[in-house]
Amino acid sequence: MTAPAAPKKTSQRSNQWRVVDIVVASVIAVAVGVLFFAWSAGYSGISVLTASFPPLAGLYTGGWLIAGVLGGLIIRKPGAAIYCEVLAAAVSALIGTQFGVSVLLSGAIQGAGAEVVFLLFLYRKWNLPVALLAGLGSGLALAISENILYNALWTFEFKLLYVVFAAVSGTVIAGLISWLAMRGLAKTGVLSSFAAGRTADV
């Protein structure tokens, strides 16, 4: 008699990146990177509207956070949020965003904000509340870092309001819209190679 085969350690393998994960994450990041470039171009108009009350610009920031949340929701592997957010930022820089290469640092910080939330749920929960929290985390990371790097001369009240507005924007634009986009893509069948496309509770 031969000894029974040892059970496969699927739980350990589940967090390992596959080639398809890298390819799809890169496609997502490139596509959203083009969106980042367009979103950055629109910021000029927003800055004019918010000149008298700068914290309101925080409501616009959620568009720069989509790559990390969407990538994390689809790939569902450690590092996906940071990878997608940084690569999307790099694409926007290569196209010629007005913010230059500084977007790489921003991408890393904002991606980490979403990544921390996915980590807190041990990369096992991918429902709407988690997506909203990931958007919130990314928005908070953006606002806090920008208050330190760019808004140092603002009053405390302005900085606090910027955090609140960016958190709301991250939750709605990056969190809710990314979750809806993931659900929409799952229904088309293009995510059949991913858990996001095979499970109902996404």
Whether the per-residue pLDDT at 2 is higher than 80: the answer is no
Whether the full predicted model's pTM is greater than 0.75, yes or no, is: yes
Total number of domains constituting the chain = 1
What span, in angstroms and rounded, lies between the C-alpha atoms of 43 and 120?
A: 32
pLDDT of residue 199: 67
Domain that holds residue 185: 20-198
Average pLDDT, the chain: 91
Q: Is residue 6 part of a domain?
A: no
Give percent of the chain above pLDDT 70. Answer: 92
Q: Is residue 35 part of a domain?
A: yes
Q: Longest C-alpha distance within the chain, in Å?
A: 82
Give percent of the chain above pLDDT 90. Answer: 80
Q: How many CB atoms lie within 10 A of CB 41?
A: 14
Per-residue pLDDT tens over the stretch 68-96: 999 999 999 999 999 999 999 999 999 99
Rounded to an integer, the average pLDDT of 14-20 is 91
Of residues 133 and 6, more confidence is placed in: 133
What is the C-alpha R_g of the chain? 18
pLDDT-based confidence at 181, cuts 50/70/90?
Answer: very high
What span, in angstroms and rounded, lies between the C-alpha atoms of 157 and 14?
A: 45
Whether the per-residue pLDDT at 200 is higher than 50: the answer is no
Q: Is residue 172 part of a domain?
A: yes
Amino acid at 68: G
pLDDT-based confidence at 156, cuts 50/70/90?
Answer: very high
Rounded to an integer, the average pLDDT of 45-57 is 91
